[in-house]
Structure 1
Amino acid sequence: KADATLPNLERWLVALEARPAYMASKADVYTHAHALPTQNGPAYSTEAAEGVAARICGLEEGSWALEAVSGTDTAARHEAAYQLIANHEAVVAFAARGAAAPGQPSFAGLADPNADIHSPNEWGEVPAEVILGPLDECLRHVAVALLDGVDSTERSAMADLSRTGDSGGGRGRGGGGELVEGWDAYEDVAGRTYYWHEVTGETTYAPPTRDIGACIAYLRDRIGVPRDMRCVPAAVLRAHLNWALDLL
């Protein structure tokens, strides 16, 4: 799209995206990037693609921020809120996997269907007992922000989430908790912090801390399009989850 040398193709794509049936089935690049390796084999990064990859995966400064979605319409925010609220108990339980000991990760790097929130994690905490309540509170603030805007709810959210951040054995703060054993922090060539597991070889940019922040990041990174919602609402929800992370 947006290629002046192909005006007819541009008009065709614009017209196609005006059709609700197409937009309801359209995936986003982030979902494609993480889904295709499970079908076609692992991908291999090249230095020339690092900037684009960082933008797609929300690692580039501002790429998954509220400013990046500030021009979206109310309908997109409301769709994101609806999808978050409509099945909220299951969404909270799913996000709580970020505080659980990993189950048996599959070839798909973001899939961990056997993570058990009812079993103790590395610190002997049972996520279902210590984190579901604070996590639910956090996601309720995200829903309010989606419906009413962050300006109308940020003060109350900041007060509640700063308190929520001290739950779960003191490791509730977003990214401020103790790293799980086996994980160490490193910097990539762009100066961004990432984490590498010395035994499994896994890497992640979300701090593996088993705290509230890890749960919010777990949910954010696993929003699939169009499985969970359409492209624009997904971008809006990811940005609002990052907003909540900044308040923790």
Structure 2
Amino acid sequence: MGKDITTVDIQFAPFLERMCASLLFFKGFQMRVSPGEPTDYPNLNKWFDAMETHESYMLTKSDYYTHCWDLPPQLGGCTFEPSGEPYEKAINGERTLDGTGGRGSWELPLQPHNGGIEPDWTWLGDDDAAKREAVERVSANNESIARFAARGAGRKGFPAYTAPLADPNAVPNDAMLVGISSVLQVICMALLEGVEKHESTMEQMATVVVQEGKEEFTEGIVKSLAYMRDRVGVPRDMRLPAARQLRAHVNWAIGKILDAQ
């Protein structure tokens, strides 16, 4: 916590990182702010800024969403306060912090710094770099990811796990695999070339899913995509900018399918 990084910084980093996420999510208590925003904790924010100049730290850094879903099972549960609800919903992608247009925070176009909740990782480059990372991570393991996503339309595993997003024994619904893989291909193309260029392709695919697959299949595809979206972990699967782009583009695809019903 001086001019050079020390073992004290290394020991404090994971605790402070989780505190910034969980206290905001559960209590509405904000420690870390977006660049230029006023704060009661300027030195803490400067410390995070300094830590984020170290590649060794950046490679291990997680995001608020991952922390807030990982933490309760480790602690035996966390208690919500009403003041945390707007932040909880924004971190979970359900709505923007300011409630603009009634839209979710995981919808395109994405707000900078998730609407003032979590500073963007600007050291990783621009949005195009984040999109390329998301595509690389998905396309490099497409078959396994599709099978993982198909758990959303399959059977829950036994025994159940206390972590709500963990279900390693779940049985995927193999009938969804081709549909999931096809939608993921369009999502990847939209990430690389822009959703505007692939609006009609996704709309056509949505029409096929709804008309040819019927209600049960359509519901299964939507559940599978949402299952995968909610389990994109940072940094396990990809870094935050890429995760934000992937989550938002998956929601774009889900929206097209729902609109086609």
User: Is TM-score (shorter-chain normalized) higher than 0.5?
Assistant: yes
**% same residue:** 38
Structure 2 counterparts to residues 213-232 of structure 1, below 5 A: 213-232=222-241
Rounded to whole Å, the distance in 1 between the matches of 2:196 and 2:54 is 33
Rounded to whole Å, the distance in 2 between the matches of 1:94 and 1:167 is 23
| Counterpart code for 2:47 | W
Check whether the contact 1:166–1:172 (CA below 8 A) recurs between aligned residues: no
Please state if 1:14 is matched with 2:59.
no
Q: How far did 1:107 drift? A: 0.4
Q: How far did 1:154 drift? A: 1.4
Structure 2 counterparts to residues 1-248 of structure 1, below 5 A: 1-2=32-33, 3-60=38-95, 61-68=103-110, 72-104=126-158, 105-117=160-172, 127-128=173-174, 130-168=175-213, 170-173=215-218, 177=219, 211-248=220-257
Structure number having the greater helix percentage: 2
Distance 1:6-1:103 versus aligned 2 partners, 3 A rule = closer
Check whether the contact 2:149–2:225 (CA below 8 A) recurs between aligned residues: yes
Check whether the contact 2:151–2:227 (CA below 8 A) recurs between aligned residues: yes
After alignment, is 148-157 or 60-69 more displaced?
A: 60-69
Rounded to whole Å, the distance in 2 between the matches of 1:142 and 1:77 is 10
| Counterpart code for 1:59 | E
Rounded to whole Å, the distance in 2 between the matches of 1:63 and 1:111 is 23
| Secondary structure, counterpart of 2:110 in structure 1 | helix
Q: How far did 1:164 drift? A: 2.0
Higher RCO structure, 1 or 2 (CA under 8 Å, sep 6+): 1
Q: TM-score, normalised by structure 2?
A: 0.71
5+ residue gaps in structure 2? 1-31, 96-102, 114-125
Check whether the contact 2:157–2:170 (CA below 8 A) recurs between aligned residues: yes
| Counterpart code for 2:67 | H
Question: Which residue pairs with 1:190 in the alignment?
Answer: none
Q: How far did 1:167 drift? A: 5.0
5+ residue gaps in structure 1? 118-126, 178-210
Distance 1:167-1:26 versus aligned 2 partners, 3 A rule = farther
Check whether the contact 2:127–2:241 (CA below 8 A) recurs between aligned residues: no
Question: Which residue pairs with 1:198 in the alignment?
Answer: none
